[in-house]
Structure 1
Amino acid sequence: MITKEQVLEAQNKWGNGVVKIGSLKESRIECEAYASEFLDIRYAFEAGTVLFKPTKCAFEQFRPTKPEALSYFIAGDDRACDEDKGFAIQPWTKVRFENTGFILEDHRAIAMGNYFFTDLNGDEAKVEYTFGYKLINDELKIDVHHSSFPFPNPEDVV
């Protein structure tokens, strides 16, 4: 049975990886290499279908392939999707998870909640997420990634 602690560890590694990608943005070759390795280690692209719906996408909302996910994370001249700006090269200084709950099974886990991305000014961006994990060779890999901005407060909408 996958444990809550394993999921928390996977989340910590994911957040630290996003921060590291951003820290490498001035060295494009190193950034690309690390981001590609990050996707290989954290996501289950090699094992089958990955359902990836990142936050900041309006036209190409779903990214089922590694090249499309890489495009979302680091963009670049050869990006797979024109709208990508490089989410992970913002850069972020910290990522923290506030989990609402977990579903834990023998070879699959699901976590849902909010995660918060801290920018260079110390401001946090709140994003809602659902991650599905598959246990592959004793490592949790993401095969479902859905994130979105919270619905605006109706009182704030004009």
Structure 2
Amino acid sequence: MNKKSNLRPITEEEVLSIQRDWADSIISIGKIFLNKGNYKLEAEKTLNKLYAFDISNVLFKPTFASQNQFRNNFKDALSYFIGGDIKEDNGFAIKPWSKIRFGENKIIISNDTAIAMGNYYFTSEQDKKNETKVEYTFGYIRDINGNLRINLHHSSIPHSGH
């Protein structure tokens, strides 16, 4: 199943834009959680808008997943972000985070697909003086409406050398 389009080639600016959208969405889910709002609905909207579960296979290996390492469907991804059916999930997006910034190593674009790799940095709402550095690889495809969607998301803590 792959209903991606063959519209205009993906641009670097679009990749940077979806990364900002992803970061802003994760922060928003956490804020809604803190304010006792419907954070589940916000998380569902984020997954539907930014991830390609409805149009393609999605390869998702979250940072803090060890027993159930891969979240290749909507329900398991939702559990990772807000807690749910998978026992080890504490809700990554409801930690919550006050700031998320991307640092690129490289972006590769091939017409209607793109891959970005680098580090992203997370600042928690509870400790705004420290950042957590996390390695990432994201893959993107364009949907039939021309929007970028995530079809690959791998995230891990850098090896400590021990």
Query: Fold match, TM over 0.5?
Result: yes
User: Over residues 40-82 of structure 1, what are the superposed CA-to-partner deviations in whole Å (9 max), with x where a residue is unaligned?
Assistant: 000000002100000001100000110100000000xxx1211
Consecutive aligned runs of 4 or more in structure 1 exceeding 6 Å deviation: none
Alignment match, 1:83? 88
TM-aligned CA deviation for residue 24 of structure 1: 1.0
Alignment match, 1:107? 112
Q: Does 1:118 align with 2:123?
A: yes
1:31 maps to amino acid: Y
Alignment match, 1:72? 80
TM-aligned CA deviation for residue 27 of structure 1: 5.3
- Give the secondary-structure state (helix, strand or coil) at the position aligned to 2:158: coil
TM-aligned CA deviation for residue 104 of structure 1: 0.6
1:128 maps to amino acid: E
Alignment match, 1:49? 57
- Residue in structure 1 matching 2:153, options 125, 139, 145: 145
1:108 maps to amino acid: T
Matches of 1:28 and 1:141, distance apart in 2: 28
User: Over residues 14-60 of structure 1, what are the superposed CA-to-partner deviations in whole Å (9 max), with x where a residue is unaligned?
Assistant: 00000000001145661000100000000000002100000001100
Alignment match, 1:132? 139
- Give the secondary-structure state (helix, strand or coil) at the position aligned to 1:25: helix
Matches of 1:94 and 1:144, distance apart in 2: 22
Q: Which runs of 5+ in 1 are unaligned?
A: none
Matches of 2:34 and 2:11, distance apart in 1: 37
User: Over residues 77-108 of structure 1, what are the superposed CA-to-partner deviations in whole Å (9 max), with x where a residue is unaligned?
Assistant: xx121100000101001110001001112110
**Number of residues paired by the alignment?**
151
Alignment match, 2:5? none
- Give the secondary-structure state (helix, strand or coil) at the position aligned to 2:54: helix
Alignment match, 1:12? 20
Matches of 2:133 and 2:103, distance apart in 1: 10
2:63 maps to amino acid: T
Larger RCO (alpha carbons 8 Å, 6+ apart): 2
Q: CA RMSD of the aligned region, Å?
A: 1.1
Alignment match, 1:38? 46
Alignment match, 1:97? 102
Matches of 1:81 and 1:48, distance apart in 2: 23
Alignment match, 2:3? none
Percent identical among aligned pairs is 44
